Amino acid sequence: MSGSTFGKLLRVTTFGESHGPALGVVVDGFPAGVAVTESDIQEYMNRRKPGKNPLSTPRSEGDTVEILSGVFEGRTTGTPVAMLIRNTNQHSSDYEAIKDTYRPGHADFGFDQKYGFRDWRGGGRSSGRETAARVAAGALCQLLLKRLGIDCYAYTESIGSVKIDPSAFERSAITETATGMPDRDADRKAAELVAAMAGEKDSIGGTVVCIAEGMPAGIGEPVFDKLDATLSHAVMSIGAVKAVEIGDGITVSQKKGSENNDPFIPGGNGRIEKKTNHAGGILGGLSDSSPILLRAHFKPTPSIASVQDTVDRDGQAVRLSVGGRHDPVIVPRAVVVVECMCAIALADALLIGMSARADDIAAFYSGNS
Amino acid sequence: MSGSTFGKLLRVTTFGESHGPALGVVVDGFPAGVAVTESDIQEYMNRRKPGKNPLSTPRSEGDTVEILSGVFEGRTTGTPVAMLIRNTNQHSSDYEAIKDTYRPGHADFGFDQKYGFRDWRGGGRSSGRETAARVAAGALCQLLLKRLGIDCYAYTESIGSVKIDPSAFERSAITETATGMPDRDADRKAAELVAAMAGEKDSIGGTVVCIAEGMPAGIGEPVFDKLDATLSHAVMSIGAVKAVEIGDGITVSQKKGSENNDPFIPGGNGRIEKKTNHAGGILGGLSDSSPILLRAHFKPTPSIASVQDTVDRDGQAVRLSVGGRHDPVIVPRAVVVVECMCAIALADALLIGMSARADDIAAFYSGNS
Amino acid sequence: MSGSTFGKLLRVTTFGESHGPALGVVVDGFPAGVAVTESDIQEYMNRRKPGKNPLSTPRSEGDTVEILSGVFEGRTTGTPVAMLIRNTNQHSSDYEAIKDTYRPGHADFGFDQKYGFRDWRGGGRSSGRETAARVAAGALCQLLLKRLGIDCYAYTESIGSVKIDPSAFERSAITETATGMPDRDADRKAAELVAAMAGEKDSIGGTVVCIAEGMPAGIGEPVFDKLDATLSHAVMSIGAVKAVEIGDGITVSQKKGSENNDPFIPGGNGRIEKKTNHAGGILGGLSDSSPILLRAHFKPTPSIASVQDTVDRDGQAVRLSVGGRHDPVIVPRAVVVVECMCAIALADALLIGMSARADDIAAFYSGNS
Amino acid sequence: MSGSTFGKLLRVTTFGESHGPALGVVVDGFPAGVAVTESDIQEYMNRRKPGKNPLSTPRSEGDTVEILSGVFEGRTTGTPVAMLIRNTNQHSSDYEAIKDTYRPGHADFGFDQKYGFRDWRGGGRSSGRETAARVAAGALCQLLLKRLGIDCYAYTESIGSVKIDPSAFERSAITETATGMPDRDADRKAAELVAAMAGEKDSIGGTVVCIAEGMPAGIGEPVFDKLDATLSHAVMSIGAVKAVEIGDGITVSQKKGSENNDPFIPGGNGRIEKKTNHAGGILGGLSDSSPILLRAHFKPTPSIASVQDTVDRDGQAVRLSVGGRHDPVIVPRAVVVVECMCAIALADALLIGMSARADDIAAFYSGNS
């Protein structure tokens, strides 16, 4: 597997399985001089960790992060920041029943086809637990973005048919509600829906929106590493995401050019702004100074207690009810994962963006040498 | 700009501007022994080239491809295959009017912010013409996929509100209709819609679907290089794409697990298959032996002849009507681009997939050494 | 710092500082199905660890390796193998004296220039201790090479003016002698030389040779990733190496073509061999079926107890005697590091080498799908 | 072949075979705003091109470079700069005799083993002609280095036993002498030696030194991408190089620490300098503000007219005299290749070096946004 690293200049490499000794991440290329403590990271870990509210799995993991390297006297040193999260609450026996069976909606079959066998305990490497390592890395990147005046945040936009009312948007609710919705009314309704799903031994999907405000214009690389392309890569790599939209997303395919184009307008202080933001802050793959807006569509949790048809390793039909401890909806805990993956992609793009002009390079080195 | 290369083992690097001397591509890591002629590539180039039907720009480019390297006696040699497409029909003067003005919906502003100035002739590097180089590379990858028994093809699914009728699907229509629709009725209606848009000096969006049949299971890399993540990266890097869906895509966010999960079933000959394919052939980032299905949403062509508000380089408000030669809809010519980007991403994933098991590596080298 | 990863398909990422909590490594892209235990890795760690004989620093580190991921029921799973080595015997106070002073021969000045400050404890990231993580990764790669019938080993060829006698070559001596020399006589003389150097508060350089037998022909990539180029990169990245030679190395610059060319000859069983091996097993960047031979020249340990002239952070002249615990010669402990870096580079090249031919790819997937 | 790209942020991708239609290169990630004309590049091409003096092959190639992209109104735009060199003087029939025979000292055997067959005309991709594309890229990078006040130059230090006298160093002689030696006396002697070798139907090796003055301190990345490691990779990837030394190189293995350490001293204007430069300008993988010094050892041209023993594709012994047009010494034409590969590696390292500190990133974006 050659796919555990994301990013080009700022490179995030994760490791770990759901029921192995630990998960972790190495962030290489992170700049020196950013103040960071384990609590800064832990705050993000806590937003993702299981067992914190009635909507999530009762698996109770501390998800305590330990910084192993790259920080000295409270600041990053420029060398790789490695972070470790020990697994402490594995119930591997829960999974013995499925070790020779392919759970619908999961990667079990693909892993066996690819590697010949798999670590079947809790989904192994393909478990949602793997995202804990991403969150640790993203938390670090958020510290850098904040230093640059960039505000990157995500929230639950919908669960099933329950959608937030944008006019009721209340940012503090994102981290206070069980659903991650910035609308307390919608949160209540969504929580009821999730409870109903759990009662039916079923699960439900939803959407997460991520916004980044304060991005300078011109970030992203033309052609293959357009900012929307790397953001999509980052977010689509989260297990349960099946669609990614930028700005107005899928609705553009039914729009006219005259409706969809965002007029440029004179802003204050000689700045150039856009009158509307159908584009979601990215034009031709480069940031355009409007807020970046990305939406991820999550499928319903594939692990459900209802009986399902499937096959075993030998291809024989079997019936399966997935036991273990599972969230009836992925979205609330995925909010911080989407936010963190976007933060990683943006931070990498910002670092790459520094060497676009020879004048800047010359100024940089004449000042430093 | 450090983003003109796509792929890890099979690496595609493009170059060239709309009104420069030439566009081109270098395909490095392409395996030896694939039979190829310039006509094989030209066939794909012709599907993309402008001026071939009433829906597309009257710019008349031969888009003739020349193979510069990596092919000997009709077969690839394993060394980089470079291909060149000379620009022959530039009307740069068409663009003099916009050299100091930022066209809405375009990357002009971002380029100036990033690089300090830009090649304003025809959009320079951010022109849709850049995709000609991608098509040349994708055509080559299609030859490899075919050799492996994989059938990767794309078609126009909708233009504006006109959508194909799946029950009328006729594959040969894809390359025979002006719209790229595999449904001749829908094609007629869509062509009328496009003509109406052109008459209004406006443009319209649409969707392209790409399908890959015959993919072995287990292709893609867990975590960041999931097959859906690299496909999304590939397709979202096409200029006008604003959303990418895998399988049931956006609809999963309103689905229940019991609806969305695809049961595994015993197939013929000991094979394992899926009863349904909501997942679009990818589970946990690995191919699952069902057809891969991806949908791209294209925005309407941003270049429209209607008068629009915008600003110039100095941030002063100006009014602009974009002249030049433009397609009133991007989708018909983009079909082959989506197909080619998917072919590139799949070919790369297949090459990477060969080294997943030590047994296979040992067998490979004991046979070869 | 964006340079903590080596390799393309098999990617080794290290982290950790000399006096931080831990060192570690993530090996991504390592194939599934290789039997491995912590003892297999520990055996290599022990060859590098300090304090094991009179030639090395009295710092006593257990260098105990813990496998954190990627191994299940005694076999690699194909997911990243992360390994952790806790630091347990730091004497950071030894370094307080040099925190504002630039030690000659060290990276202190460069780190301050690059990052603005540095973790001065024990050299931080630029400490030789960083190589512990490389050894853990290399030990894993050696298991793969052995599976493929490749025997990769290194030894001390010379320390100062004391050189081994090739006719006295005794492989078992490599791991039994204090110097890593495969010649017990030379070992004795070299040990005396090192003792003399230590007595003079000085240090001495030396050379390490690495040999890989059993490499199939055709491994390595033409042009920039020639096998000798990636091996040189791998070995030159070890801190104290100042020259790398392949085969006859520096002597070729005084040779005639008729002397230096290795005639090809018919070998047994239809194999093709070379009569001589001036080339060190690599021609045009590809392995040629003869043993690979590489030589690394190590500088003397820069940390010496003698008084030296240098400057402090403010550029003021100061005199310095480097305290702390240091090896008077780097070479004996570096032998396993060279071996491991070569093993990593070879393993990566072997994985990449699998996709060179379309026929092989087609055979691979027709067998697997 | 996945090895035709060098560099991380500034990425150089070459293509082309000796007797194919053309050679070329794509330089991606090159910053915007560097003034460049085809003549600037041609000047370097002319230093490498064949047939310019009695020491080199009579193959007469114009080696005329055409810039295909990335330059607008005389300046680089930030998009990939592609450059093309057409082959015009191929005598493929010269090589018919060796199409089924493996030339000693060449990659013929390796290519057949790797790819199953090869483009045998003039060595195909493994021909020294491939370096023409590197020179075009390096010429571009030299323009950037000059802009940054960095002077990177190479010269022939020795041919066979004839070595330059450092006290007679005359820089202008480098490009004026047939050998590339900066010492006209040594040049005369070396030219006689080469003529003698040619008379004997033999060839001879030599060394090239490359120096870079004006490099800021702290460039290079700790651990695997140390500046000496990437420079070694770059230079060892030139076909005939068999050893690379940094600074005092191989002599350090016999040195004491007290001899080899370079004392830091106060320089003018608060700068820190080194009293000596045994290290060759690199400590711990980072530039240390002294001149960078690298030496490459080239083997004698393997193509010699003398009769040699070898085998054919079937492994049968045959005798071979290599016809065609060959340089009796590689070094004079390789000087500019070494210089260019170093320039590429240094330019890439300088770009990467910009994002080491969060303060710099914040200052950069607060000034730009």
Mean pLDDT split into 10-residue runs, chain D, 369 residues: 90 96 97 98 92 68 93 97 92 81 95 94 91 98 98 98 97 96 98 96 97 98 98 97 98 97 91 97 97 98 94 93 84 98 98 97 81
Sign of the dihedral through C-alpha A15, A18, A21, A22: positive
Q: Tell me the pLDDT band of A369, cut-offs 50, 70 and 90.
A: very low
- Find which of A72, A108, A352 to mutate to test the C interface (most C CBs within 10 Å of its CB): A72
Q: Is A150 helix (H, G, I), strand (E, B) or coil?
A: coil
Class of residue A77 by CB neighbours under 10 A (exposed 0-12, middle 13-18, buried 19+): buried
pLDDT of B344 over the 70 cut: yes
Chain A, 6 to 25: residues with Cβ < 8 Å from chain C are: 8-11, 13-17, 20-24
Q: Tell me the pLDDT band of A59, cut-offs 50, 70 and 90.
A: low
In angstroms, what separates the C-alpha of B221 from chain A's closest C-alpha?
5
Sort out which chain D residues have CB atoms less than 8 A from B70's CB and list them. 15, 17, 20
pLDDT of B208 over the 70 cut: yes
Query: Taking Cα atoms as reference points, which of C330, C267, C283, C270 lies closest to residue C106?
Result: C330
Cα separation, C296 vs C180, whole angstroms: 14
Are the Cβ atoms of B116 and D32 closer than 8 angstroms? yes
C32 inside 8 A of chain B by CB = yes
Q: Is B152 helix (H, G, I), strand (E, B) or coil?
A: strand
* pLDDT tens by residue, B117-149: 999 988 899 999 999 999 999 999 999 999 999
Are the Cβ atoms of A116 and C33 closer than 8 angstroms? yes
* pLDDT tens by residue, A139-195: 999 999 999 999 999 999 999 999 999 999 999 999 999 999 999 999 999 999 999
For tokens 């553009």, name the residue. A252
Mean pLDDT value across residues C274-279: 98
**Do the beta carbons of residue C352 and residue D2 sit within 8 Å?**
yes
Sort out which chain C residues have CB atoms less than 8 A from A21's CB and list them. 66-69
Q: Which residue has the higher pLDDT, D96 or C16?
A: C16
* pLDDT tens by residue, C109-162: 999 999 999 999 888 999 999 999 999 999 999 999 999 999 999 999 999 999
* Pairs of CB atoms within 8 A across B/C: 97
pLDDT at B154: 98
Who among C10, C33, C361 is closest to B357 (CB)? Answer: C33
Q: Tell me the pLDDT band of C59, cut-offs 50, 70 and 90.
A: low
Q: Which residue has the higher pLDDT, A331 or B96?
A: A331
In angstroms, what separates the C-alpha of C128 from chain B's closest C-alpha?
32
- Retrieve residue D366's tokens: 């607060």
D196 inside 8 A of chain A by CB = no
Cα separation, A349 vs A344, whole angstroms: 9
Domain that holds residue D342: 5-367
Chain A, 145 to 184: residues with Cβ < 8 Å from chain B are: 158, 160-161
Q: Is the ipTM of this complex over 0.95?
A: yes
Who among D8, D33, D369 is closest to A358 (CB)? Answer: D33
Cα separation, A79 vs C114, whole angstroms: 11
Chain C, 203 to 242: residues with Cβ < 8 Å from chain B are: 214, 216-217, 222
Distances (CA, A) of D320 to D100, D105, D106, D311, D312: 11, 13, 13, 9, 10
Q: Tell me the pLDDT band of B156, cut-offs 50, 70 and 90.
A: very high
In angstroms, what separates the C-alpha of A77 from chain C's closest C-alpha?
6
Q: Tell me the pLDDT band of C278, cut-offs 50, 70 and 90.
A: very high
Mean pLDDT value across residues C55-59: 67
Sort out which chain B residues have CB atoms less than 8 A from D2's CB and list them. 9-11, 28-29
Are the Cβ atoms of D119 and B79 closer than 8 angstroms? yes
Query: Taking Cα atoms as reference points, which of C245, C246, C236 lies closest to residue C334?
Result: C236
Are the Cβ atoms of A4 and C26 closer than 8 angstroms? yes
- Retrieve residue D133's tokens: 């594309």
In angstroms, what separates the C-alpha of A140 from chain C's closest C-alpha?
15
A1 inside 8 A of chain C by CB = yes
Are the Cβ atoms of B125 and D79 closer than 8 angstroms? yes
Helices B131-147, B38-48: inter-axial angle, 10-degree rounding: 130
In angstroms, what separates the C-alpha of C107 from chain A's closest C-alpha?
14
C360 inside 8 A of chain B by CB = yes
Sort out which chain A residues have CB atoms less than 8 A from C10's CB and list them. 2
Chains that touch A (3 or more CB pairs under 8 A): B, C, D
pLDDT at D90: 74
B321 inside 8 A of chain A by CB = no
Query: Taking Cα atoms as reference points, which of D131, C222, D347, D68 lies closest to residue B25?
Result: D68
Cβ atoms within 10 A of the Cβ of D321, count? Answer: 11
pLDDT at C119: 92
pLDDT of B368 over the 60 cut: no
* Pairs of CB atoms within 8 A across A/B: 405
How confident is the prediction for chain B on average, in pLDDT? Answer: 94
**Do the beta carbons of residue C106 and residue C303 sit within 8 Å?**
yes
- Find which of A203, A261, A303, A357 to mutate to test the B interface (most B CBs within 10 Å of its CB): A261
pLDDT at D369: 39
* Pairs of CB atoms within 8 A across A/D: 96
* pLDDT tens by residue, B52-63: 666 766 667 789
Sort out which chain A residues have CB atoms less than 8 A from D368's CB and list them. 216
Distances (CA, A) of C274 to A53, C149, C213, D252: 70, 20, 14, 32
Are the Cβ atoms of D358 and A79 closer than 8 angstroms? no
Cα separation, C162 vs C83, whole angstroms: 37
In angstroms, what separates the C-alpha of A286 from chain D's closest C-alpha?
13
How many distinct structural domains can be found in chain D? 1
Class of residue B118 by CB neighbours under 10 A (exposed 0-12, middle 13-18, buried 19+): buried
Nearest residue in chain B measured CA to CA from C272: B369
Residues contacting C213, CB < 8 A, separation 6+: C150, C151, C152, C291, C292
Provide the pairing of β-strand C286-287 with C282-283.
antiparallel
Are the Cβ atoms of A21 and C78 closer than 8 angstroms? no
* pLDDT tens by residue, C330-359: 999 999 999 999 999 999 999 999 999 999
Mean pLDDT value across residues A274-293: 98
pLDDT at D9: 97
pLDDT at D62: 84
Q: Which residues pair with A67 in a beta bridge?
A: A83
Nearest residue in chain B measured CA to CA from D34: B115
Sort out which chain D residues have CB atoms less than 8 A from B20's CB and list them. 68-70, 72
Chain A, 80 to 119: residues with Cβ < 8 Å from chain C are: 80-82, 84, 113-119
Cα separation, B364 vs B355, whole angstroms: 10
Are the Cβ atoms of C359 and B33 closer than 8 angstroms? yes
Chain C, 122 to 141: residues with Cβ < 8 Å from chain A are: 124-125
pLDDT at C2: 79
pLDDT of A368 over the 80 cut: no
DSSP string, B59-80: ------EEE-SSEETTEE-SS-
Q: Is A11 helix (H, G, I), strand (E, B) or coil?
A: strand
- Retrieve residue A168's tokens: 């009721």
pLDDT at A152: 98
Sort out which chain A residues have CB atoms less than 8 A from B252's CB and list them. 205, 242-243, 297-300
Mean pLDDT value across residues A119-128: 91
How confident is the prediction for chain A on average, in pLDDT? Answer: 94
In angstroms, what separates the C-alpha of D188 from chain B's closest C-alpha?
39
Q: Which residue has the higher pLDDT, C167 or C51?
A: C167
Where b means 16+ CB within 10 Å and e means fewer, D296-305 reads: bbbbbbbbbb
Sort out which chain D residues have CB atoms less than 8 A from B17's CB and list them. 69-70, 72, 77, 79
Phi, psi of D167 (to 5 degrees): -75, -15
Sort out which chain B residues have CB atoms less than 8 A from A302's CB and list them. 257, 260-261
* pLDDT tens by residue, A346-362: 999 999 999 999 999 99
> The whole model's pTM is what?
0.97
Tell me, what CATH number does A282's domain have? 3.60.150.10
The vertex-C30 CA angle with C26 and C32, nearest 5°, equals 125
Sort out which chain B residues have CB atoms less than 8 A from D1's CB and list them. 28-29, 78-80
